[in-house]
Amino acid sequence: MKLADWAPIIVAGVTIVGGVFQARRKRPMTREIVKQDVELLGLLPEDSEAKELLAKHIDATVRKIVEDEDQRTREYAGSCLAIGFLAVSVFLLASCVARGGAWWWLAAPAVFIGLLGATGLGQDAVPRRRDARGRPL
């Protein structure tokens, strides 16, 4: 099977992955939600129980932002390395599919490298609290 036969599948996969990233990007951030909650708080009547409850929720959310979210970071070098591993894995899998025959032995290292890349991306791309050397706390 030629690589040209896989082109429509690759294009469809890239489209799906792009759509997923775009959908995740459109979600409002925590600070935007707090801003909307503050605006809603101003619209509620003074004697409302919901106003007190919403004020406590806003206070807790702001406290969490200050204490936790501002200290969480991503490890960009590890994320780039993991993406590189995933790219090598895809290239090896595409090569073994395109050439067939004895090239199927490339599937084993491709799967291993892909697992390393996926694990590394899961560890380094997720925002976490980290020490000075970038290790997760």
DSSP 59-116: HHHHHHHHHTGGGEE--HHHHHHHHHHHHHHHHHHHHHHHH-GGGGGGHHHHHHHHHH
With cut-offs at 50, 70 and 90, classify the pLDDT of residue 85.
very high
Is the domain of 18 the same as that of 45?
yes
The parent domain of residue 95 ranges over 73-137
Is the domain of 77 the same as that of 19?
no
Number of domains making up the chain: 2
Residue 27, pLDDT score: 57
Residue 109, C-beta contacts closer than 8 angstroms, at least 6 positions apart:
92
Residue 50, C-beta contacts closer than 8 angstroms, at least 6 positions apart:
44
Is the domain of 13 the same as that of 63?
yes
Average pLDDT, the chain: 80
Does residue 51 carry a pLDDT above 90? no
Cα distance between residue 94 and residue 108, in whole Å: 13
Yes or no: say if 41 and 56 are a contact pair by the CB < 8 Å rule: no
Structural domain ending residue among the three candidates 67, 91, 108:
67
Which of 18-27, 31-40, 78-87, 101-110 shows the lowest mean pLDDT across its residues?
18-27
Of 100 and 86, more confident = 86
With cut-offs at 50, 70 and 90, classify the pLDDT of residue 93.
confident
Yes or no: say if 84 and 124 are a contact pair by the CB < 8 Å rule: no
Cα distance between residue 17 and residue 37, in whole Å: 32
Of 119 and 5, more confident = 119
Is the domain of 102 the same as that of 86?
yes
Does residue 86 carry a pLDDT above 80? yes
Residue 115, pLDDT score: 92
Of 31 and 70, more confident = 31
Is the domain of 98 the same as that of 83?
yes
Is the domain of 7 the same as that of 35?
yes
